[in-house]
């Protein structure tokens, strides 16, 4: 099959973006964790410059726990593996839980706080799972390194290890996140639910420092995992009050979904072809009008995102590489307006 010049050029641009993004991430997180000497002194007052950068104390580092809690990654990996063996669906749930955490107030484990009016109690969060996994990991780490490892770091690493369990790519996780003390249900309602327009998604991702490529690639996490039938029933019977199904759904897939989703409480796989495999079939499904959520399918109908869908559908190596890069970017979202945070002893509540 011959590929057009424009298609090959798009592939080249995507490959360059992957390389540049990887370099950008590496340079941003590998800065040494130490204070810089002051440039101003009595003998040379003209050297004083305004400081527009955040304190290096707040930057993430791959060696953050090297001396304070060596072996922390092994503890997290072993625990995730233990839970995965009991229930393979927990892996996708951990990835989703991580996204919901970082999407509100940055990656600060605010989604884990369990109190009246917290993000966890919001309607958009009611189907989230994996809290017990994080609590189990936290308990194991506290025995070895008390009051040292943040819940935010644990959730970030657990999402990476969950991806590995599913056959996805590995990436190094920089550490040093703090746990937030604020969690508000109303703020969680801003997280996409699957009914938005592509423009809404683009704007939401841009507000978090992520771009269109990150949007399409991270949506590829729907190659695994499930959704409640409640989230898609409107597409099957009454789209926008028309009393007709969504015309963008493949007729055979529509019949399958109607049989599968007779009850709103039922679950259906996000990837109807290879739901247990981390692969690029998700993008091929979009080409075949088999996107479960409307936000999935619209990635193929929108001119800004459809070229990326076409590339990723046939380039698994590009998808795996860029997924790792985009997940690092997601995990590096820090809300600089928050206070310095803390290291929670219990991930479900702030310290006393």
Count the Cβ atoms, other than its own, within 10 Å of residue 320: 22
Nearest-Å Rg of the Cα atoms of the chain is 22
What is the C-alpha separation between 13 and 314, in angstroms, rounded?
A: 16
Query: Which of 27, 98, 100, 222 is an active site residue?
Result: 100
Distance, in Å, from the CA atom of 259 to the CA atom of 256, rounded to the nearest integer, reads: 5
Q: Which of these, 285, 272, 298, 287, lies nearest to 192 by C-alpha position?
A: 298
10 Å CB burial of residue 152 (0-12, 13-18, 19+) is: buried
Burial 99-125 (b: 16+ CB within 10 A, else e): bbbbbbbbbbbbbbbeeeebbbbbebb
Report how far residue 169's alpha carbon sits from residue 163's, in angstroms, rounded to the nearest whole number.
Answer: 7
User: Distance of CA 60 to CAs 25, 28, 90, 284, 334, Å?
Assistant: 11, 8, 27, 36, 10
Contact 75, 144 (CB under 8 A): yes
Pairwise CA distance, residues 179 & 149, whole Å:
10
Cβ-based neighbours of 121, under 8 Å, separated by 6 or more: 115, 185
Active-site annotation holds for 100: yes
Q: Which stretches within 87-130 are classed as H helix?
A: 89-102
Please give the positions annotated as active site: 100
């Amino acid at each position: 099959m011959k590929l057009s010049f424009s298609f090959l050029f798009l592939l080249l641009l995507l490959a360059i973006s992957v390389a540049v993004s990887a370099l950008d991430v590496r340079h941003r997180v590998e800065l040494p964790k130490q204070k810089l000497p002051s440039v101003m002194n009595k003998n040379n007052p003209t050297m004083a410059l305004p400081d527009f950068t955040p304190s290096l104390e707040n930057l993430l580092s791959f060696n953050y726990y090297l001396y304070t809690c060596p072996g922390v990654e092994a503890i997290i990996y072993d625990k995730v593996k233990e839970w995965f063996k009991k229930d393979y669906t927990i892996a996708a749930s951990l990835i989703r839980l991580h996204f919901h955490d970082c999407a509100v107030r940055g990656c600060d484990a605010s989604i884990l706080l369990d109190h009246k009016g917290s993000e966890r109690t919001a309607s958009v969060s009611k189907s989230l799972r994996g809290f017990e996994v994080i609590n189990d990991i936290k308990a194991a780490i506290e025995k070895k390194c008390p009051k040292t490892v943040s819940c935010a770091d644990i959730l970030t690493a657990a999402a990476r290890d969950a991806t590995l369990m599913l056959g996805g790519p590995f990436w190094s996780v920089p550490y040093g996140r703090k746990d937030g003390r604020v969690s508000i249900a109303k703020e969680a309602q801003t997280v996409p639910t699957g009914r938005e327009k592509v423009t809404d998604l683009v704007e939401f991702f841009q507000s978090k420092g992520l771009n269109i490529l990150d949007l399409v690639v991270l949506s590829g996490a729907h190659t695994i995992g499930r959704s409640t039938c409640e989230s898609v029933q409107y597409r099957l019977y009454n789209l926008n009050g028309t009393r007709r199904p969504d015309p963008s759904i493949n007729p055979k897939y529509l019949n399958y979904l109607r049989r599968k989703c007779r009850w709103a409480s039922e679950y259906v796989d996000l990837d109807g072809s290879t739901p247990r495999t981390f692969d690029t079939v998700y993008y091929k499904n979009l080409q075949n009008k088999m996107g479960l959520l409307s936000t999935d399918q619209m990635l193929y109908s929108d001119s800004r995102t459809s070229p990326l869908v076409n590339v990723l559908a046939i380039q698994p190596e590009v998808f795996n590489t860029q997924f790792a890069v985009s997940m690092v970017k997601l995990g590096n979202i820090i809300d600089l307006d928050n206070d310095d945070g803390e290291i929670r002893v219990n991930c479900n509540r702030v310290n006393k």
